[in-house]
Structure 1
Amino acid sequence: MSTSEQTAASRSAERSTKDPLSSDAGRISVSQSVVSKIAGVACREISGVHNMGTSGGRAVGAIRERIPGSSGPSVAQGVGVEVGETQAAIDLDIVVEYGISIAELGRSIQRNVKQTVERMTGLEVTEVNINVDDVYLPDEGQETPPRVS
């Protein structure tokens, strides 16, 4: 291998280790909506998350759910993201089930969301902020709805 070929190969390897979304073939960009959906699904995978979104967002999702032909609340409900070229920051609004340790739940959510988004997108997740908006208290005479949809 010639010196110029070695230099080009070295630059290509260096680029791929520093930025998995860039190569000699071009650049891959990931939209905010994609990161929001991935983060929403990853958050809902954790036991103890009853629902996602602020009270207003959950009300709109409940209305949307009642409209025939609607897919119900969005998987990105309760998720806010900022996406740069190589990094993402994620904010989550959640409702926890009563009796769950919020600190432990939060760490589990942060770990799962960070790992899932990084694995699927190649973006570095710099932070996962969680805002607990409510605690779900099941009523005795009422059937418990599904944990999350």
Structure 2
Amino acid sequence: MEENRKDEVNIGIVKISDEVVSVIAGIAAGEIKGIVGMNAGVTGGITQIFTGKKSTSKGVKVNVEEESASIDIIVAVEYGVKIPEVISQVQENVKRAVESMTGLKVSAINVFVQNIIVQKPNLKNEEKEA
């Protein structure tokens, strides 16, 4: 009788595409303070120029297998942050988000720091001082 209940609940197959996982990972990585952006590379940058759309999955490559996923993320960090701490937070947040939303086990999260961005001083504060 227990098997019948399982069949009634399981009425089909659920497959999660790589793109969905990459969007989740991109949003989760962007939530961490110190991450300024993610790099899409040359082709992603050209696509963004022509379409005018920002992709939340840019700079994220996902390889989804049967029950697990490995994720590569290319990021730019803010100047002055402790990079190992920020990257560790990115890995934890991405793992938590992907596993809770998709049910996949995250086998690896590789984060590549490709750029450091120096934030420009706030112009309004400079005008007040002058």
Give the TM interval when normalised to the shorter protein.
0.7 to 0.9
1:63 aligns with 2:49: yes
1:49 aligns with 2:49: no
Alignment of 1:93-112 (within 5 A): 93-112=74-93
Equivalent in 91, 94, 98 of residue 117 of structure 1: 98
1:26 maps to amino acid: G
Q: 1:138 to 1:55 in 2, by over 3 A?
A: farther
Q: Percent identity?
A: 35
2:115 maps to amino acid: D
- CA deviation after TM superposition for structure 1 residue 49, in Å: 0.4
Equivalent in 81, 84, 91 of residue 65 of structure 2: 84
1:32 aligns with 2:13: no
- CA deviation after TM superposition for structure 1 residue 45, in Å: 0.5
- CA deviation after TM superposition for structure 1 residue 60, in Å: 2.8
- CA deviation after TM superposition for structure 1 residue 56, in Å: 2.6
Q: Higher helix fraction: Structure 1 or Structure 2?
A: 2
What is the count of residue pairs matched by the alignment?
A: 121
- CA deviation after TM superposition for structure 1 residue 58, in Å: 6.6
Q: CA RMSD in A?
A: 2.5
Distance in 2 (alpha carbons) for counterparts of 1:78 and 1:99:
22
TM-score, normalised via structure 1 length: 0.71
Helix, strand or coil at the partner of 1:113? helix
Task: Please identify runs of 4+ aligned residues in structure 1 that moved more than 4 A.
Answer: 139-143
Deviations 1:56-88 (A, max 9, x none): 357436624xx5xx3x22000000000012110
Residue matched to 1:19: none
- CA deviation after TM superposition for structure 1 residue 47, in Å: 0.6
2:80 maps to amino acid: G
Helix, strand or coil at the partner of 2:37? strand
TM-score, normalised via structure 2 length: 0.80
Q: 1:49 to 1:40 in 2, by over 3 A?
A: same
